[in-house]
Structure 1
Amino acid sequence: MKKPQRDITLRFLAEPQDVNFGGKVHGGAVMRWIDLAAYACAAGWSGHYCVTAYAGGIRFVTPIHVGSLVEVEAKVIYTGKSSMHIALEVNACDPKSLNRRLTTHCIVIMVAVDAHSHPIYVPAWVPESEEDIQQNETARKLMEMRKKIGEEMQIFVE
């Protein structure tokens, strides 16, 4: 049996329609690229259609300029029964120089679903390297923090 694909890199050129009024790539365009990469990563791991359940901790570190080559790297760092935590990093550079710089990073949780949109089991991911183990432990810590944040946020949804 073929091993599931754990990571993927998508590449885009930042186009004029991606730019906001300030002349930089709009955060929404970056978030769209993140969602596309998270989906491709999760689908590659699970072998199923996946939906976004959570996107958080998004940090816009430096702006992206029109004409930049943008790379969105996504990798599985934790799996639940049907969910996959995907760590994403966005880097950009002038395509002539290829001096990459970090622009954005975040975590997205994707859920694999069947033809009736019901959650479906995904293959378990087992960390192997020291870096994998650290990222897996961080994903577990973030799960606990999100539970607390969710409880606090209830005041806004009731």
Structure 2
Amino acid sequence: MSTKIRDVTLRFLAEPSDVNFGGKVHGGAVMKWVDLAAYACAAGWSGKYCITAYAGGIRFVQPIHVGNLVEVSAKIIYTGKSSMHIAIDVQASDPKERQNRLTTHCIVIMVAVDEDGKPTSVPEWTPTTAEDIHLQESAIKLMEMRKTIGEQMETHVKHLK
């Protein structure tokens, strides 16, 4: 692949089928959109089929209403050997006004896999701006925190076995 794409934005209208019992767009619908954008971003960067390994830190800041124009933006902020850490922002607006407001944000980790479903290498992303360096440092800190949380969660996992 000659040109790696680091970011992608998906745009669409929130539909009545996306609504929960409270009349707003269902969180599960938003999470699906997040996963779709993360896949498009990871596949565009790696040139390979990718799977979701982690989605976390999801914050639902404001509701999305039926008929809103939704923009799901995904951007690579760190790469490992086979993984890509992707920052996701979801914004929505009345399509007549186009004044975006942040509704959701999170981090998703995608892993590139080969034909046998085994992790395979991805191109390294190197930050060049101060903002990108900050994003990469943040991704590394979050990775360290997830390891600690994972160790603590082992107690619960063993209990369920």
TM-score tier, shorter chain, comes to: over 0.9
Q: Which whole-Å CA distance do the structure 1 matches of 2:56 and 2:107 have between them?
A: 6
Calculate the TM-score normalised by the size of structure 1: 0.99
| One-letter amino acid of the counterpart of residue 3, structure 2 | K
Paired with 1:31 and 1:55, the residues of 2 have a C-alpha distance of 9
* Aligned mates of 1:155, 1:52 — CA distance in 2: 24
The SS at the match of 1:78 is strand
Aligned to 1:114: 114
Is structure 2 residue 27 aligned with structure 1 residue 27?
yes
- The alpha-carbon deviation at position 3 of structure 1 amounts to 2.7
1:54-65 matches, within 5 Å, as: 54-65=54-65
Partner residue, 1:9: 9
Residue 103 of structure 1 corresponds to 103
Aligned counterpart, 1:143: 143
- Give the drift of 1:5: 0.3
What's the offset of the Cα at 1:157?
A: 1.0
Distance across 1 between alignment mates of 2:136 and 2:18: 33
Where does structure 1 differ by over 3 angstroms across 4 or more consecutive aligned residues?
none
**Residue 133 of structure 2 aligns with which residue?**
133
Partners of 2:128 and 2:65 lie apart in 1 by 37
Counterparts of 1:21 and 1:117, CA distance in 2: 38
Give the length in aligned residue pairs: 158
> What displacement does 1:98 show?
0.2
Give secondary structure in 2 for the equivalent of 1:8.
strand
Q: Map Cα deviations across residues 111-138 of structure 1 (whole Å, 9 max, x no partner).
A: 0000000000000000000000000000
Cα distance in 1 for partners of 2:7, 2:45 equals 8
TM-score (norm 2): 0.97
Aligned residue type for 2:123: P
Q: Where does structure 2 lack aligned partners over 5 or more consecutive residues? A: none
- Structure 1 stretches of 5 or more lacking a match? none
Per-residue Cα deviation, 1:43-99 (whole angstroms, up to 9, x for no partner): 000000000000000000000000000000000000000000000000000000001
Q: Which residue of 2 aligns with 1:94?
A: 94
Identity %: 72
